[in-house]
Structure formats: structure tokens, C-alpha cells
A and B are shown apart, each in its own frame.
Chain A
Amino acid sequence: MKLSHRFATGMATAAMVMGCWAVPATSAQAAETLNVYSIWPEPYCKPMFKAFTKDTGIKVNFLRFSSGEALARIIAEKNNPKIDVLFGGPIETFAAGVKQGVFQAYKPPSTKILPARFKNADGYWTAIADDPLVFMTNKKFLAQHHLQPPTSWNDLLDPAYKNMLQMADARTSGTAVTRIFSLLEVDHRDEKKAFDYMKKLRKNIQTYTKSGGGGTVPIGLGQAAGGIFFIVDALQTQDKGYDVAISFPKEGIGASAEGIAIVKGAKHLDAAKKLVDWATSAKMQSLLAPNKINFVPANPQVKTSPAVAKLLATANIIQIDDKYAGQNRKRIVQKWVDEVLNEK
């Protein structure tokens, strides 16, 4: 009996302890704060938020998620939003969010000077950077097989790459969707031609990774020979010391803008607007190069870092039509799953 009572008191005490924790930690409400989900990884977004706090005095609490997880959470939290801003990540994630009605329209001052593909017509999102795709290959593998870094989409069909390429899965990764639409644009939207190519390429694929950068380390380590990645991921792989080559197909390859948006029902709306103003302006984007963040700035007032600019000088970056991509995304991804991924 005594012990059973002790159980009860123990449980009750524990419940009370937990109760104290259950109160959300909002004591730091005195200073102006902002809650953010960042799709940019911490090494990228942290210096940005630090500078923003220095400029404005607004403290940024953030949590990093992959684009899919971030949006899934925002959708689940729709009725009682926990955050104010979704920061970074490919705009196709933002486009999906617009369809779910989770964002609030706001047009920052920079909207006026941004090219059309860097802003949503209704102001639901605005671009803060641009990110072209590249081919990345392991130099040791190239040397062993007497190959040059690939400069054409067809180079990747070489049997030497059999079972040695890693790239992202279109169901989870914006990188993959951008890659597929690049191909479609290169082939003048001839779906049969583009899918025939992808089916052939399938034979050289070791695995389709869940995240866009998932294949970079295996390629750096030589577990795989090459793949198609965003330039930020590829350059970071090089910066880490892995011996990889970056090249571009002569037929052209696409790019995806990175966005920012205010969440509908944001509890700190004014601060959220300030962050959007700041992130879309030269104030933030001129910090990218000094922090070795290899995005291409979206704001035309900011110069691309010399290293990236030099690399891109040789590249044929083509436009992916947003309207076409937006209208066909779901169907094309499904087609990719049915005809490429699950093809025997």
C-alpha cells in the first residue's frame, strides 16, 4: 500500500515538474523577437541572423529543417502558427506552400528591382538568392578511367559511370525537380526525348538520395563517381577538401531561386516584414561572399563573389519557365516515379 502511494506521489511530483516545463519559454519577450524555420543550414543562416540582430535589434530564434519537413510542419501548424518566417529553400517549396495557403503576401521594397523570376506575382514569396546546378565528379575516378569532367548531358551516359552516379530523388528534393526541368528545357519540352534520356541515365545511377546534397560526401569519398548538385553544395564539398571537379553541360543547365516568405498568422508581423526587407536587400546578400556562402545573389545591386563568378563564366545557365514548371511539377514528378524510378 505504502509503495503504491509512493508511486502516486512520485507521478504527481513528476507531473508538476513537467508542468513547469510545459509553459512555453516566452520570458525573453521583452526584446523584439522573431521565430523562423530556416531551410538554409545553420552555417549559412546563423551569420545572416546575427547580422540582422546587429542591424535591427530583433532577436531571431530559428530551427533548421529540410524543405519538405519545414513545409510539412508549417502546414500541420496552420491553425496555430508557431513561427513567423520561412527562410531559404528552393522556391518550388514556397510555391507548394502558396497552394496550401500558409503564407501571407508582402512585397518588400526590393521587389521593384528584382527580375520577374525572383518574386511571386502576388507577393507570397520573394527570392533572396539564386542557385545554379552543376555536374560534380570525383577527380580520382576520372583519372582512373581516363575521363574528362563531363561537359555534356550525354557524357553522363558513358558506361564507365555504370552504377556510380548519385543524384537526388524527385519526390523529396528540389534539386532533383530543378534537374528534371533543366532537361526538359534543354530538350525544348520534348517530354519523350527527356524521359528517354533519364531512363538511359537510370542505368548509371547507384542510388537516388533523399536530400539534394546527399550524394556529395559519397562522391567526395569516392563511393560514387559523380552527380548533379546545386553549386553551393558542390563548392562546399570542394571547400571541405574533397578532390572533386565541377563542370557544366554545354547544352545548358537550370537554376533555382531561394526564397523567403511570411507565414500566415505570424505573431510578430512587423519584425517578420523587417526580416524580409533586410534579406531581399543588398544588406544581407552582400554578406554571402564574405561568409563563403556560394549562392548567387538575387538582388541585382549585389555582385556575385569572384570565385563563383569565375566558375559561372564558362557555364550556360538557362531559364526554367516558372509557370511551365509550376503547372507541370506534380505530373512530371509522378511520371518520373512511374517511368524512371520504378523502371526495371
Chain B
Amino acid sequence: MSALALKNKARPDLFFSLIVAALWVLLAFFVLYPLARLFGRAFTTDAGVFSIAPLLKILGNGNDMRAFGNSLMLAATVGVGGTLLGFLYALTAVRSGLSPRWTRIIDTVNLLPLISPPFTISIAILFSFGTRGLITYDLLGISQYSAYGFVSTAAAEIVTYFPVSYLTLRPILAGIDSSMENAAFSMGASRWRVFRTMTLPLALPGLLNAFLLMFSASLADFATPLILAGNSFPVLPTEAFLQITGQFDLQGGALLAILLLVPAAVVYFIQRHWLGERSFVTVSGKVAQRSHVEILSPLARKILFTVCACITVMVLYFYLLLLYASLVLAFGANSTFTLAHYHTIFTDGMPVIVDTLIISVIAMPLGGLYGMLMGYIVTRTRFAGRRTLEVVSMLNYALPGTIVGIAYLLAFNDPPFDITGTAFILIACYVFRYSPTGIRATVALLHQIDQSLEEASESMGARSGHTFRRITLPLIMPAFFTGLGVMFIRSMTAISATIFLISISWNLITVRILENMTELALGPAAAFSVLVVVIVYVVLMIISYLLAHLRAQSSGRVENILGG
């Protein structure tokens, strides 16, 4: 079982090889095979002959290329903006001496965009900032402002996805031993210098991970641009979706989606290259006394508070709007209070709620375990094809959901793999599409943990399994719980891939919400959204309680899911 201490490239033993083999089999079946079917479809003509002519046609199409450029610009903006905002929040949460109660409130509110169906923010933005928006028109009297386009799409995506970067960055910042910062500070370094030369470099793996997650999420997001991008700002995921559902051109849609793989891969390799050579050890095994830190000046603290407070209030407003819409007869037309929408979703909508819960509850532990295992294997072991394994594990996350959905449909509709129409295909889709957050969290955390901790344990005679359980596992537990939380959140809220995978036997809440919106039934749509938010919130609280309990036993340090 030397698998767990492989700095010296020990020969993998049987058990370890079996795990790697099992991971490869799973990835081959649930990632590579569907993708191969998709590529097959993209590069063969109707007559079944291989051809790159359709690809050349797309590369020569000005409109498609513009969409490609727009996608890159949007993803880069959301990547930078979301990472910055997440970092700001993380800094506020762990370094500004905020009282635990305020931290909790900020955490709770900013969790909302993450745990609600993807279009809620877009719709709220439309109603608030549109040509006749509640804020732009009714409040500020601006009538010519259009809520469609790059700015609102980027803003909606940043607000929707920044909690992911916050979740990634908070444990990293919390893990940086503040006594080191204090030491530097007390030895006369300026705050800025300490921040620039210690805090920032130590947080780098987290920042890059957050950027990667945000960039890919934006690149693959189709619900937000579908509602907010308007006509002047086409992006690839929506264009691919339109190609498939509007022109019934599966080939064209598949090709557009394949184009998206290029930037996703480039960002990934840049990040790998950057992180590959550096060491970010901060959990060194020496006892770190938690001390109150003065790393932020009072002014900086005030600015942080104000920014966080403003955004928190805005998010809160969006969701109060949602709650309001679920409690009135017809939003905007009839403001009579009613519980009828809740009655509807708990009677007609009950089967969908049950289906969604069953699938999410099964997907959650599977995805959490898979994510942690994969993260551990790719970081702490050395074997041929390790990087390939890591890249493959990220593929389904980087691809737009519509395409993953179509690829799964192509791959798993015919015997011998006839699993469309089952819950299994939905669970598999979730596990392999949404565990990369858990993988990245594990990787980022492991980058911070000095391997000598594990080696010390082994050199003192502990068996590697023992070392893993007593040393490594408690240290990466926060990442596991992050992965678990994100799995559940995504299983409850995802739509783009699953809209092609739901079936007569298994339907999901998010799809019903989209349905309700096309049926003009904003009330039930809002009620369903509120329900999703409540369920996910309760589950996250349970997870966080369990984590706190677990940690209380081992180390006495209480953390929760929000900050790991």
C-alpha cells in the first residue's frame, strides 16, 4: 500500500493499481465513450464517411467565430470577476475579525445563488434592470437601459458562480497560518508587503483553481445567456443549443461544443504548468496558535465590509423578489396573497420532488467519494497517465451541459448500454459532471499539506492505510465535504444536461421550473425555486453539522461546509 507515499516513485502495488484501473474504467465508460460517440457524430457525414468539411465551414463562419470570441471574453471576465469577488469575501470572512454572527449571515445569503436553479438570478435581473425594470425604471427613472447583453450576462454569471470561488478560497485562506503573517508584520513589514509576499502567493493555488472553476462554469453555462445575452451577444453554448433544438443540426451543435473544449483545455494546462513547480505548504505539523490578525488595515476592512454588504443586500433583494413572486396570485398583475402555488407544487409537483430528492441523495455520496479519491490519486501518486486521468476527469465539467446530455443520449440509448430513461443515467451524469469541484478542492488542499507529515508517520512505523486515515483523511475532509455539498447542490439545480436525460419515469424539479416559466406560471416556478433553496439549505446545514461534529472529535476546530 505504498500508493500513499509516492514521492519517490515507488512501484504501485496491486490494490492501488486496482483503484486506478477502476477509475479508468469508469471514466472510459462515462466520459470518453459518450464523447467518442459525439465526435463520431460531429465528423461523419450522413453517409457515414469521415469528413472535416463541416468543421471548416464553422471555422469560416463569421457569426460562429464571433460567438467563440464572445464566449472567451465572457468566461475570462467571469473568471477574473468571480475569483476576485470570492477572494474578497474569503478575506472578509477569515481575516477581518468579523463577528461569527455576521459571517454566518453573509455566508447564508451568498449561498443562495449557488443553491437555486440557474435562471433565478437572470430573471430577477431582467425584472429589476430591464427597460421597465423595478430598479432602473421605477426607482431611477431610466427608460432606455437594456438588460440584454454582455454586461448583464457577465454580472448574472458572476453573482451566480462566485460562491464557488468563495467556497474554494475560504478554506485555503483559513489554512494559511496567520501567525506567519503576524510574525512578518511584527518584524516591520508593511501590511501590503505581507499581503503581497505571503498571503497572496500562498493563496495562489486556490486563486488559480477558483479561476479555472469560474472560467469553465461560464464557458459551459447556457441558461444565463439564453435569457440575458439578447441578440447582439451570441455565445457558443447557446448557439450549440439553438443549432440542435432549432435547426435539428446535431452535427453543427456538436462541432460548436467541441470548439469550447479548446479554451477549457488551454486554461487547464496553463494552470497546471504554473502550479506544477511550486510548493505551497502551510500545514506544517507545527502547532499554530490562532491569533487575532492585523493584516488588514481599518480602511481596507471598511472597504471590504462595504463591498460585501452591498452585494449581499443585492442578492438578498433578488431572492425576496422570488419569495414574493411565489406568494402572490400573478406577479406584476395581481398582488393578492396566496398559498395556492405551494399547494400546486406539493400535489401535482410531488412526484417530481420525490424523484429529484432520490437522485440527489444517491448522487451526493458517490460524487463526494469519487471526487476525493480522484483528487488524492492525481496529487499524491505518480504513475504513467496520471495527468491524462486528471484531464479526462475534468472533461464533462468543461463541456456545455447540452452537449453532455446529447452525448449521453447518443451513447446510452442503444443496447448493450441501454440506460436512458433510468435514474442511473442521471446519477452518472451528475457524478462525472459535478465532482470536479470536489476534485479541485482536494487537489488544492493537498497542495497545501506538506507530504513530510505523511512520510513522518510512515517512517515511524505507521502503515500507509493508517497514515491515510489518521493524517491525510482528516486534513482533506473539508474538501470532501465541499465536494459533497456541491454534488447535492448541483443535483438539485442542474438543468442543461439533464433536460435531455429526464424521462417519463424520472423527471426533475428544475425541468418543471423551466416548464412553468414557458407556461407563464411564474407562481409555481417561484414556489419550486424557493423549495429547492430550502431543501438544499437544510441538507447543507446537516452536512456542516456533521463536519463540525467530526472535527470536534479529532481536533477541536469547528468548521463548516461553507468554509471547510
Which residues of A line the B interface, CB within 8 A?
1-4, 7, 10-11, 14, 17-19, 21-25, 35, 41-43, 61-64, 66, 68-69, 71-73, 75-77, 79-80, 82-83, 96, 100, 163-164, 169, 171-173, 205-208, 210-211, 213-214, 216-218, 220-224, 233, 236-237, 240-243, 333, 337, 341-342
Contact = CB atoms under 8 A, between A and B. Distances in A.
Contacts of B103: none
A82 B503 contact: yes
13 contacts: A1-B1, A22-B419, A41-B515, A68-B244, A69-B499, A76-B406, A82-B420, A207-B148, A213-B518, A221-B331, A241-B330, A241-B333, A337-B63
A172 B518 CA distance: 14
B133 A223 contact: yes
Interface string B328-362: 01111110000000000000000000000010001
Nearest 6 interchain pairs by C-beta: A1-B465, A68-B245, A22-B424, A172-B246, A171-B246, A241-B333
Most central of B231, B466, B473 by chain A CB within 10 Å: B231
A76 B130 contact: no
Contacts of B277: none
Nearest to A176: B246
Contacts of A83: 504
Given A1-B1, A21-B427, A217-B522, 14 more contacts: A1-B463, A3-B473, A18-B362, A24-B505, A43-B521, A63-B502, A72-B406, A75-B250, A76-B409, A76-B410, A77-B409, A82-B503, A213-B518, A241-B333
B365 interface: yes
Interface of B: 1, 15, 19, 22, 63, 126-127, 130-133, 144, 146, 148, 226, 230-231, 242, 244-248, 250, 329-334, 358, 362, 365-366, 369, 373, 406, 409-410, 413-415, 418-424, 427, 463-466, 468-469, 473, 499-500, 502-505, 507, 515, 518-522
Contacts, number: 178
Contacts of B146: 163, 206
A75 B406 contact: no
Given A1-B1, A14-B365, A62-B504, A241 B410 contact: no
A69 B245 contact: yes
B330 A211 contact: no
Given A41-B515, A220-B332, A4 B1 contact: yes
Nearest to B63: A342
A76 B413 contact: yes
Contacts of B465: 1-4
Given A14-B365, A241-B333, A208 B518 contact: no
Contacts of B518: 41, 66, 211, 213-214
B148 A217 contact: no
B369 A7 contact: yes
A217 B520 contact: yes
B520 A240 contact: yes
Nearest to B420: A82
Contacts of A205: 231
B421 A24 contact: yes
Most central of A69, A79, A171, A221 by chain B CB within 10 Å: A221
Nearest to B253: A72
Given A24-B505, A68-B248, A206-B146, A241 B520 contact: no
Nearest to A340: B231
A79 B463 CA distance: 53
Contact of A64 (B19, B244, B515): B515
A240 B333 contact: yes
Contact of A171 (B242, B358, B410): B242
A230 to B, nearest CB: 13
A60 B419 CA distance: 21
Contacts of B415: 80
A18 B424 contact: yes
B132 A35 contact: no
Nearest to B228: A207
A147 B19 CA distance: 72
B362 A42 contact: no
Contacts of A243: 333
Contacts of A207: 148, 230-231
A163 B131 contact: yes
Contact of B422 (A22, A220, A224): A22
B148 A43 contact: no
A17 to B, nearest CB: 7
Given A1-B464, A4-B15, A18-B362, A216 B520 contact: yes
B499 A100 contact: no
Contacts of A24: 421-422, 505
B413 A72 contact: no
A156 B383 CA distance: 67
B63 A72 contact: no
A224 B131 contact: yes
Nearest to A63: B504
B499 to A, nearest CB: 7
B333 A206 contact: no
Contact of A223 (B19, B126, B248, B427): B126
A36 to B, nearest CB: 8
A210 B423 contact: no
A10 B22 CA distance: 14
A223 B414 contact: no
Nearest to B419: A22
A163 B466 CA distance: 67
A77 B522 CA distance: 32
Given A35-B504, A61-B504, A80-B414, A163 B144 contact: yes
B226 to A, nearest CB: 6
Given A1-B463, A164-B131, A242 B332 contact: yes
A77 B130 CA distance: 40
A169 B464 CA distance: 60
B250 A76 contact: yes
B226 A210 contact: yes
A258 B414 CA distance: 30
Contact of B127 (A69, A221, A236, A341): A221
Contacts of A61: 504-505
Contacts of A220: 332-333
Given A41-B515, A61-B504, A213-B518, A68 B246 contact: yes
A67 to B, nearest CB: 8
A51 to B, nearest CB: 17
A207 B225 CA distance: 12
Contacts of A25: 505
Nearest to A172: B246
A243 B465 CA distance: 69
B362 A7 contact: no
A173 B203 CA distance: 48
B330 A100 contact: no
A63 B466 CA distance: 51
A25 B521 CA distance: 30
A73 B511 CA distance: 15
Most central of A18, A68, A207 by chain B CB within 10 Å: A207
